[in-house]
């Protein structure tokens, strides 16, 4: 059992990383921008360079009432949301795994998924700059995760990338259209090397279920309009994160139910 100061420090650390993730979400899709340059954040409306006290995670947003100090333009609620989600992710994985190598590994993984989720929601793309390096990086990192073997990682890579690739080929064969983006395939391959083949199957099931319900709900709201494309990346992220926290327990419960 750790002191509350440790938990608070971990949460604040997560909030600060979340502030950096907001920069990544905004700049990565624009190839003309660098993640680390300019180093200071600016108001997207008036170009005002934010002071350090205007950039304190969550607190500055509340203090400024969600508006730029200079021009009073509204600041998107997504900024404090990403910071909060990252902070909660940090403290949650710390509560689950404690001071262990997999805690940092899973936190990095969750941070990557948060960036991918919001970029996919905004631009309908999953950036290769995260997934392609992520495959070998998380493959190496998986060696420090006790529940994941080398065999699990390799099979997870094959099933993760291969399953969605097969679905994409079948869909295109029958419809003549691209129904599954290549970014989703690379994302699930990246997931597979860290969470293994069981995690991949769990992620596909959960993301498909949640995605179907969400898609039907949107269709009902849109009164049957099927033209709205729903990105699949966020659902894959939800499935993978769910597996990290609850996957083994749910799988154990399910197989016991079948006995």
Q: What is the mean pLDDT of residues 31-59?
A: 80
Domain segments of the chain: what residues?
A: 1-99, 126-259
Confidence of residue 228 (pLDDT cuts 50, 70, 90): low
CB under 8 Å to 14, separation ≥6 — which residues? 86, 87, 88, 89, 90, 91, 107
- Residues 161-174 have a mean pLDDT of 74
pLDDT at 259: 65
Pick the closest to residue 22 from 70, 87, 74 (CA basis): 87
pLDDT of 210 > 60? The answer is yes
Confidence of residue 161 (pLDDT cuts 50, 70, 90): confident
d(CA 47, CA 173): 49
Instruction: Calculate what percentage of the chain has a pLDDT beyond 90.
Output: 62
The whole-number pLDDT of residue 237 equals 97
DSSP 174-236: HHSS--S-HHHHHHHHHHHHHHHHHHHHHHHHHHHHHHHHHHHHHHHHTTT-------SHHHH
Over range 201-219, report the average pLDDT: 89
* Choice among 32-36, 93-97, 119-123, 209-213 with the minimum mean pLDDT: 32-36
Find the mean pLDDT for residues 199-223. Answer: 87
Specify the 3-state DSSP secondary structure of 123.
helix
Q: Are 75 and 64 in contact (CB under 8 A)?
A: yes
> What is the structure's pLDDT at 141?
96
Q: Which two tokens stand for residue 92?
A: 């949650």
Q: At what angle do helices 233-242 and 182-221 cross, to 10 degrees?
A: 100
Asked which of 72-76, 167-171, 187-191, 199-203 is least confident by mean pLDDT, the reply is: 167-171
Category of 70 on φ-ψ map: left (φ > 0), alpha (ψ -120 to 50) or beta: alpha
As a whole number, the mean pLDDT across the chain is: 88
More confident residue, 154 or 38: 154
CA 161 to chain centre: 17
Instruction: Please give the distance of CA 126 from its chain centroid, rounded to a whole number.
Output: 10
Tokens for 198, please give them.
């069981």
In contact, 130 and 112? CB cutoff 8 Å: yes
């Amino acid at each position: 059992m750790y002191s509350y100061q440790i938990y608070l420090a971990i949460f604040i650390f997560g909030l600060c990383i979340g502030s950096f993730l907001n920069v990544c979400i905004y700049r990565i899709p624009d190839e003309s921008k660098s993640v680390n340059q300019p180093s200071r954040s600016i108001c997207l409306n008036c170009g005002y360079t934010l002071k350090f006290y205007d950039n304190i995670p969550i607190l500055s947003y509340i203090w400024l009432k969600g508006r730029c100090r200079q021009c009073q333009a509204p600041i998107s609620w997504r900024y404090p949301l990403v910071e909060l989600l990252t902070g909660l992710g940090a403290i949650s994985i710390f509560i689950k795994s404690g001071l262990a190598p997999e805690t940092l590994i899973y936190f990095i993984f969750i941070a990557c998924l948060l960036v991918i989720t919001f970029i996919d929601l905004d631009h309908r793309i999953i950036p290769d700059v995260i997934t392609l390096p992520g495959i070998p990086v998380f493959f190496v990192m998986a060696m420090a995760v006790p529940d994941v073997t080398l065999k699990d990682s390799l099979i997870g890579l094959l099933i993760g990338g291969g399953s969605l690739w097969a679905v994409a080929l079948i869909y295109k064969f029958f419809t003549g259209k691209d129904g599954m983006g290549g970014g989703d395939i690379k994302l699930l391959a990246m997931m597979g090397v860290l969470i293994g083949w069981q995690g991949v199957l769990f992620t596909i099931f959960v993301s498909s279920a949640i995605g179907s319900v969400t898609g039907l709900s949107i269709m009902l709201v849109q009164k049957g309009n099927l033209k709205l494309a729903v990105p699949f990346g966020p659902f894959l992220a939800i499935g993978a994160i769910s597996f990290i926290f609850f996957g083994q327990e749910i799988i154990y419960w399910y197989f016991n139910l079948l006995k």
